Amino acid sequence: MKKLLVWAVAVLSLLAVGCGSEQAQQEKKAEPVELHVAAAASLTDVMQEIAANYEKAHPDVKVVFNFGSSGALQQAIQNGGQTDLFFSAAQKQMNALDKDGLLAEGTRKDLLVNEVVLIVAADGGKALNDFHQLTADDIQHIALGEPKGVPVGQYAEEVFTKLGILDAIKAKAVYGSDVRQVLSWVETGDADCGVVYATDAAVSKKVKVVAKAPEGSHKPIVYPAAVLKETKHLAMAKDFLAFVSSDDNKKLFEQYGFEVR
């Protein structure tokens, strides 16, 4: 009888261990795969909404974003940062990654077009209606993206160069690490005005657009996207990029003020 009892306890213990292992495996399987996406700061709002919709349709996937200036994101990727997809606000940064052979073959595509605008605070902002007015003495602080790594800053310098006022602007410039920092400085009044994308101005009730960059004053603002060659989730990354490019999301981009290619 005693041996039978010992045997029964042993069997139950093995069953318990087996069940525990099976449960642990199920829990492990239930953990979603993380898809790491580097995206230009100007895409923050729309991409978060797109990702939420994607995750609802794909509960086994969690989209993890790294938003920032396209230049900083490019450098992070080149330095080996974990990234599955890159959405840039300019061709320059994507071209650099392409030249280094870091893009998955056949995945690069141009997605969006944007505009450069001049903004002031919605309440009590400077009375501006033209980029030329930025040289006036009462304009002391102009918020711009840092031109070496922030595409909107590069486009702004092109505009000022075209208008022949770049040197005067540089003396008043305060440089942000990305377009959202530029937007924030104008919202809070830390800058008299700023140059951002039309889509960034559209998501803020604290600023107003007073002028658009003159036609032909800067290179076309095209947003390219691509899957990274070193991704460990190639099929999933391609699927997410296709989802972002779908007709439904093209409409969503347009709601946020982007022009879809």
Q: Is residue 24 part of a domain?
A: no
Helical (H) or strand (E) element with 127: none
Q: Are residues 178 and 102 in the same domain?
A: no
How many structural domains comprise the chain? 2
Q: Are residues 105 and 137 in the same domain?
A: no
DSSP state of 228: B
Q: What angle, 0 to 180 degrees and rounded to 10, lies between the N-to-C axes of helices 234-244 and 44-57? A: 120
- Domain end position, chosen among 193, 212, 231: 212
**b/e sequence 190-211, b meaning 16+ C-beta within 10 Å:** ebbbbbbbbbbbbebebbeebb
Q: Is residue 104 part of a domain?
A: yes
Is residue 232 classed exposed, middle or buried when 0-12, 13-18 and 19+ CB atoms within 10 A define those classes? exposed
Q: Is the pLDDT of residue 7 over 60?
A: no
CATH of the domain at 49: 3.40.190.10
Name 216's Cβ contacts closer than 8 Å, sequence gap at least 6: 162
What are the pLDDT digits (tens) for 218-260?
999 999 999 999 999 999 999 999 999 999 999 999 999 999 9
Q: Are residues 131 and 202 in the same domain?
A: yes
Tokens of 4: 């039978």
Q: Are residues 120 and 199 in the same domain?
A: yes
Q: Are residues 50 and 84 in the same domain?
A: yes
Q: Are residues 106 and 192 in the same domain?
A: no
Instruction: Tell me the average pLDDT across 123-136.
Output: 95
Q: Is the pLDDT of residue 76 over 60?
A: yes
Instruction: Tell me the average pLDDT across 145-153.
Output: 95
Distance CA 32, CA 21 (A): 19
Q: Which domain holds residue 85?
A: 32-113+221-260
Q: Are residues 172 and 254 in the same domain?
A: no
Tokens of 79: 């330095």
DSSP state of 149: T
Tokens of 71: 């230049």
Q: Are residues 129 and 186 in the same domain?
A: yes
Q: Is residue 74 part of a domain?
A: yes
Is residue 26 classed exposed, middle or buried when 0-12, 13-18 and 19+ CB atoms within 10 A define those classes? exposed
Q: Are residues 206 and 126 in the same domain?
A: yes
Q: Is residue 15 part of a domain?
A: no
Q: Are residues 37 and 89 in the same domain?
A: yes
Instruction: Tell me the average pLDDT across 68-75.
Output: 96
Q: Is the pLDDT of residue 24 over 70?
A: no
Instruction: Tell me the average pLDDT across 31-52.
Output: 96
